[in-house]
Amino acid sequence: MDYKSPKIVAWAGSRFSKLHKFIPIYASKYVYKSGINIANIGLKPYEVDEVHGRGVIFPSSVFKEIGNYDGFSFPQYGGDTDFSFRAKANGIKMLVDPRVISKVFTENTSLDHQSVYDYLFSRKNGEAVYVWWKIYRKHVPISYFLQSYLFTLLLNIYRKFVRKA
């Protein structure tokens, strides 16, 4: 939740897979859309494919099994997504518990952007061009890479700038 709107969901987990068996694109799909009221989620924990640094807890056994965050490839952003995808690939389940609320100042995160240029190229953005490039190169089959990467960039620009206008 954004600290200023504690009853409105900013992000509540996502799943990563092909859009459809006949569509050759991999993408993250929100489990719950941002902007909905927290009351619409319910209280039961649910499984996701990726979790991000806001209130995430992993037991030490996970780090022993799959290693630590990849600070070399993802020095500031994207490491949590990469770590989640590696955890999923190793059969580790990740859950979001909606009873645990994490309030953040979204203006200090990649959830809030001033311009399309900053969104795509700012070092302080987890969805910048180079972050998605590295994540998709590492976790998407090569035959799906380019179309998945371009789809994600265009969809996120639409979500954050066109739809808001």
CA neighbours within 13 Å on the CB side: how many for 121? 3
* pLDDT tens profile 71-84: 998 887 889 999 99
Q: What is the pLDDT of residue 113?
A: 54
Higher pLDDT, 7 or 93: 93
Asked if the model's pLDDT at residue 37 lies above 60, the reply is yes
Residue linked to tokens 């006949």 = 22
Asked if the model's pLDDT at residue 15 lies above 90, the reply is yes
Average pLDDT over the chain, rounded to an integer: 86
Q: What is the pLDDT of residue 114?
A: 65
Beta-ladder partners of 28:
16
Q: What band does 124 get if pLDDT is binned at 50, 70 and 90?
A: low
The C-alpha atoms of residue 165 and residue 97 are separated, in whole angstroms, by: 32
Q: What is the pLDDT of residue 110?
A: 53
Rg (CA), the chain: 16
Q: Within 10 A of 51 (CB to CB), how many other CB atoms are there?
A: 21
Q: What band does 157 get if pLDDT is binned at 50, 70 and 90?
A: confident
